[in-house]
Structure 1
Amino acid sequence: MARNRIRVGATMFAAIGVLAGGSGLIAGCSAATGGQAQTAPVEDNGLAGCGPLADAKIEKFAGVTRLHRQASPTICEWTAVSNTGGTVDITYGWLRKNSLMMDRQTAIDLGYTTENLVVKSFGGFYWRDPQDPGVCGVSAADSGTVSWWIHNRDHAAQPDPCAAAFQLMLGTVQLDG
């Protein structure tokens, strides 16, 4: 299987949504009724949007600089520069209707290895690409599933993408949990 992983985080979230029958994605929209626009209610959960972490915290926890947001809700992506000078893609998503079981099955179906973990009191797991040591994600159960993905574009194992994803998750659950 070809493994072009430049947009691995967004690809994983899209796969989760498709394999889960589309029920994992949250979205806002508007509809017209009687000539008046009606907007969807704003999500009051701190995990919604691009999550509870400010850009400065993302830089700190991931060990990167020059963070630049590429996209926003439901899946948020940033590019940054690692402390070794390489380009890093960072992806965050909160899928309200997902479960860890659904995420784990998606990981298995796509050929990732998984390893259980606990972040504070939240159960979760690592997603590792056995063919690319520069890719790692962490998913945890929290009102659905919360996931952080790190992708070192140079495919290097350093800086450690799993350590960075874990630190981002730890920061997220400290603010939310």
Structure 2
Amino acid sequence: MRRRAAGAVVGVVAALSLVSCTIDGHAVREGRSVGSDTGHVDTSQFDKLLAECEVLPARTIAQAVGGTAARSNFFGANCRWTVSPGSIEVTFNWFEWGDYNLEKETAKRLGFTTENIQVRSQSGFTQRDPQRPGVCGVTAKSQSGGIFTWWVEPTSAPQGDACAAPIKLMELILSGAN
């Protein structure tokens, strides 16, 4: 009984000491200095905040991956469509401040195989998950900064190269097709 009481007292004291704990310094994003990144964004300046999800028409996305129709199912940091027939999942993201090399390192850390490619004179790479050989992602540098990534994930094994469809989508976006 005394051990339980002593243990409870030690636990309460430890918890109370952690609650009043402070850490010196300032929270800053990696690669930034204190005061250089306010985090304040006036979104009224961005009348087309989700326009990146409309960078290609749904019909063009569908045709590029071998379907006839694409239905958007999420617009946000990632844009997603389901293409039919065949239920092919397509994902697009554009990270305006994304780092190409960091994205590639992350893919490798996740166990994906990568291959360097050129798409419309832009550096790019493919990403493949050895556990899901029918799925492929393609990342390339955006002309206006940051990176674009297209992922194509069919529910059944694709005919031919799994990276052909995301490469086609990347070609379309880098050529300004819309």
Q: Which residue of structure 2 lines up, in the alignment, with residue 81 of structure 1?
A: 84
1:66-102 residue CA offsets vs partner (Å, 9 max, x unmatched): 31101012210001125xxx22100000001111101
Within 1, Cα distance between the matches of 2:47 and 2:104? 26
Larger strand share, 1 or 2: 1
The answer for the alignment partner of 1:102 in structure 2 is 102
Tell me which moved more, 72-81 or 135-144.
72-81
CA RMSD, 1 decimal = 2.8
Instruction: Give me the whole-angstrom Cα distance separating, in 1, the residues matched to 2:71 and 2:162.
Output: 18
Amino acid at match of 1:163: A
Q: How does 1:4-153 map to 2 (within 5 A)?
A: 39-42=43-46, 49-82=52-85, 86-142=86-142, 143-153=145-155
Structure 1 length as normaliser, TM-score?
0.69
Counterpart-to-counterpart distance in 2, 1:159 and 1:71: 28
Give 1:44 shift. Answer: 6.9
Q: 1:102 to 1:42 in 2, by over 3 A?
A: same
Q: Normalization by structure 2: what TM-score?
A: 0.69
> Residue 44 and residue 81 in structure 1: after superposition, are their counterparts in 2 closer, same or farther (change >3 A)?
closer
Shift of 1:48: 5.1
Structure 1: gaps (5+ residues): 1-19, 24-29, 32-37
Q: Alignment partner of 1:64: what SS?
A: coil
Q: Secondary structure at the match of 2:53?
A: coil
Instruction: Note the residue ranges of structure 2 that are not aligned, 5 or more in a row.
Output: 1-28, 33-39
Q: Which runs of 4+ in 1 moved over 4 A?
A: none
> How far apart, in 2, do the equivalents of 1:130 and 1:71 lie?
27
Amino acid at match of 2:80: E
Shift of 1:51: 4.8
- 8 Å contact kept, 2:67–2:84: yes
Cα gap change, 1:148 to 1:121, in 2 (>3 Å): same
Q: Report the Cα distance in structure 2 between the residues aligned to 1:141 and 1:43, rounded to whole angstroms.
A: 24
For 1:148 and 1:51, the matched residues in 2 are separated by: 14
Kindly indicate whether structure 1 or structure 2 has the higher relative contact order, using CA contacts under 8 Å at least 6 residues apart. Answer: 1
Q: Which amino acid in 2 is paired with 1:105?
A: E
**Identity of matched residues, %:** 35
Task: Tell me if the contact between 1:94 and 1:145 (Cα under 8 Å) persists in the aligned partners.
Answer: yes
Code of the aligned partner of 1:62: V
Partner amino acid, structure 1, of 2:150: W
